Structure 1
Amino acid sequence: MFELGISMFGDLRVDPTTGKIQSAQQRLQEIIEEIKLMDEVGLDFFGIGEHHRADYAVASPEIVLAAAATVTKNIKLGSAVSVISSADPVKLYKDFATVDLISGGRTEIMAGRGSFIESFPVFGYDLKDYSELFEEKLDLLLKLRSNPVINWTGKFRKSLINQEIFPRATENGLPIWIAVGGTTSSVIRAGRLGLPVMFAIIGGAWEQFKPLFEVYRQAYEDYGHDISKFQVGVHMHSFFGDDSQSIADSYYPIYAAQMNRIGASRGWPPYQHTQYDFGRSSLGHLIVGAPEEMVDKILKIKETFGLTRFAAHMDVGSPAHKDMMKSIEIYGTKIAPKIREALNNA
């Protein structure tokens, strides 16, 4: 099955004139309405990210997902991502197991390092331990998922000795995905562990990622994992409208403003319209346009990489709620059915 879903970070709208940031309360209420619509139009999954900044609404994905579980029936609900390097894996497992029970087995964790670093000082961790923290905490999280009684010793927390872990997730077992950018070591680790991977393709030409997909699949096979259970996805910045040029024109200033806000702290040059135009081309990383051309582009990416999942990351720059709802509706009613039809007829 090829899953089609949406991811978000909970971006807050910034008034271009005054610089005033939208309230987190308003955006959180909007997000719940948007997830409800995703479920109603038949999308397969939703993922929400974790940030600890003034310009993002969501610091605890599991709380948003618990709220979403009460207004949805079928859609899978996961993080995108949980920054496990700065989290307590025991608390993380317990929280997500609780959401899994509330949702009837629809919950996932997507584990990642995070592209922002604010969570490290917030939770009392040192950035010099960035890689070691991720390795150790992922190891513990996987053991927690598999064992109701834990014996475990690590470097960054006290040992667990015959420790019972409750509650337990449903029989679905709480799937754990790994989110990666472009590092080969991360891809090989995921393949070694037999974990599904979500590649973030958020710049340049999407086909440049093909070697990493090949490395991941090879590692997965080399470590003896069942290829029938192989899962891999992409997360790509997306936005949809009825008319390609109209949606491209209206979304550009929102997208460019967010790229420039993030870029200002990272030393990026100002975002250019030429980057946006290339991104929207058949070769580029942006899935922004009208249904027919987006169907073709997503199908091409799926075929090239052998995808089992596509995540349309849809709130970059926080478009207006009504425009988000329209984009979700188009995705669920005009794009997803055409993709499914094409794959069923292939």
Structure 2
Amino acid sequence: MAFEIGIMTFGELTEDPLTGAVPSPRRRVRETIEQAKVADEVGLDVFGVGEHHRGDFVGSAPSILLAAAAERTERIRLTSSVTVLGSEDPVRVWEQFATIDLLSAGRAEIIAGRGSYTESFPLFGHDLRDYAELFREKLDLLLKIREQNPVTWQGRFRAPLVDADVAPRADGETIPIWVGVGGSPASAMSTGRLGLPMALALLLGPMTFHEQTVDLYRESAAEAGHDVDALPISINAHGYVGRTSRQARDFMYPYFAKGMAENNHQRGKGLLLPRAAFEAQSSPRAGLLVGSSQEIIDKLLGYHELYGLNRAIIQMGFGGVPQKEHLEAIERLGTEVAPVVRREAASRSGRAA
């Protein structure tokens, strides 16, 4: 499998730590579509929009943003990152992404996850005590909808379907469905048993953070009779591609620290990230993908060697990175990083075979 590289955003509305300015929601959604357009133009493979239901994000309806991006792009794949499936209706999810698939001539995909932020559950009338079971049941229905039409299905959390016609269908044969996994052994094992692609999320920590996750995923897939070598794995991580190593770190740090302090308040009162801790997380064996183009190349190839990854999606605008610098980083990722990583990953995979 070819190595794919992309970008993602949640559309944060964060106060700029240097100027104090806060972008309007209108400005942020327009910037999001511009990011997709530039990512497509510079040859990146994937553009993702994540889902949050709070006033400091504009990503409450990723499918609408992705539909708009479909009209401004030609080749890049368009994915949710992630769809919080436990609080969604799988029928509606399928209808929305099948429509994106038609608009984009077959470029839509879904990354379904439980969601590390839980504001959508009470918002849509779900009990958080059902958090895990909601996801399992709704993933089962989403996969059933993908596999057959009309569909007959019965579960606990929604009305049954009897010969239901769920339309439209995909533009091509199918729509890829990945499962987003944050490190839960149970999630990795269930994803492996289903034979679905796994999208790993890495906020902070060492590159090796997901070694057990990947091992459990592949062991479970093999036990269930799936071809392990045919199952894609991705890493979704924060980063920034700068002109130089120092410029990248100096530029990213105040925005990333601001985002960690203000956009993570559901995990407590926000996470204070001293500069020394940020520098440690930017080191060669740590998870953040920040540095010069060559540093990002080296780290992505390190991830490829470590996990056998087939894809990396980088969130480069976290904390309200200004659009000019964000687009410059996207261009570097597409023109300076991606071609080298694809070539080297293909070469190394060929030698391994």
**Smaller-chain TM-score bracket:** over 0.9
Aligned partners of 1:150 and 1:161 also within 8 Å? yes
The residue that corresponds to 1:331 in the other structure is: 333
SS in 1 for 2:157: coil
Equivalent pair of 2:62/2:80 in contact (CA under 8 Å): yes
Distance 1:263 1:78, change over 3 A: closer
Residues 186-233 of structure 1: per-residue CA shift (max 9 Å, x gap): 000100100000110111112131121111111111101123421111
Alignment of 1:199-238 (within 5 A): 199-238=200-239
CA drift of 1:53 comes to 0.7
Cα pair 1:181 1:199 within 8 Å, conserved? yes
Where does residue 175 of structure 1 map in the other structure?
A: 176
Q: Secondary structure, in 3 states, of the residue corresponding to 1:162? A: strand
- Deviation digits for residues 23-59 of structure 1 (CA, Å, limit 9, x no counterpart): 1110110111110011111111111101111111111
Q: Name the structure 2 match of 1:147.
A: 148
Q: Letter of the aligned partner of 2:306 in structure 1?
A: T
Taking structure 1 as reference, are residues 20 and 322 closer, same or farther at Cα in structure 2, changes over 3 Å only? closer
The 1-side partners of 2:189 and 2:154 are apart by 24
CA contact (8 A) 1:263 1:270 kept: no
Q: Distance in 1 between matches of 2:164 and 2:182?
A: 34
* Ranges in structure 2 where 5+ consecutive residues have no aligned partner: 349-353
Distance in 2 of aligned mates of 1:109 and 1:23: 28
The answer to whether the 8 Å contact 1:36/1:72 transfers is yes
Structure 1 partner of 2:351: none
Spell out the pairing of 1:247-326 with structure 2 (5 A cutoff). 247-267=248-268, 270-326=272-328
Mapped contact 2:248–2:291 kept (Cα < 8 A): yes
**Equivalent pair of 2:255/2:320 in contact (CA under 8 Å):** yes
Provide the C-alpha distance between the structure 1 equivalents of 2:266 and 2:61, rounded to a whole number of angstroms. 23
Q: Supply the AA of the counterpart residue of 2:285.
A: L
> For the residues of structure 2 that align with 1:315 and 1:120, how far apart are their CA atoms?
26
User: Which amino acid in 2 is paired with 1:38?
Assistant: A
Conservation of the 8 A alpha-carbon contact between 1:89 and 1:141: yes
Equivalent AA in structure 1 for residue 183 of structure 2? G
Q: Give SS of 2:267's match.
A: coil
Distance in structure 2 (CA, Å) of the matches to 1:327 and 1:269: 25
Comparing 309-318 with 299-308, which one deviates more in the overlay?
309-318
> Compared with structure 1, are the counterparts of its residues 212 and 265 closer, same or farther at alpha carbon in structure 2 (3 Å cutoff)?
closer
Moved over 6 A (4+): 17-20
Deviates more, 1:335-344 or 1:141-150: 335-344
Q: Is the 8 A contact 2:16 2:320 kept in 1?
A: no
| Alpha-carbon spacing, 1:143–1:188, altered in 2? closer, same or farther (3 Å) | same
Deviations 1:102-139 (A, max 9, x none): 10000000000111111112211111111111111011
Contact 2:282 2:289 (8 Å CA) reproduced: yes
Distance 2:251 2:178 in 1: 34
Given the superposition, is the C-alpha separation of residues 79 and 252 from structure 1 closer, same or farther in structure 2, using an over 3 Å criterion?
same
1:174 is paired with a residue whose SS is coil
> Match of 1:184?
185
Question: Who is 1:121 aligned against?
Answer: 122
**Secondary structure in structure 1 of the residue aligned to 2:167:** coil
CA pair 20-91 structure 1, distance change in 2 beyond 3 A: same
Aligned residues: 346
CA distance in 1 between counterparts of 2:86 and 2:306 reads 32
Q: 1:105 is matched with which residue?
A: 106
**Structure 2 contact 16–321 (Cα < 8 Å) conserved:** no
C-alpha spacing 1:342/1:15, structure 2 compared with 1 (3 Å): closer
Structure 1 unaligned segments of length 5 or more: list them.
none
1:340 to 311, 320, 342: 342
SS in 1 for 2:72: coil
CA contact (8 A) 1:21 1:55 kept: no
CA RMSD in angstroms comes to: 1.5
Whether contact under 8 Å (1:78, 1:107) holds in the other structure is yes
Corresponding position of 2:42: 41
The whole-number CA distance in structure 2 between the counterparts of 1:262 and 1:67 is 25
Instruction: Please state how far the C-alpha of 1:291 moved relative to its aligned partner.
Output: 0.5
Query: Against the structure 1 CA distance between its residues 275 and 308, is the aligned structure 2 distance closer, same or farther, given a 3 Å change threshold?
Result: same
What amino acid is the match of 2:98?
Answer: A
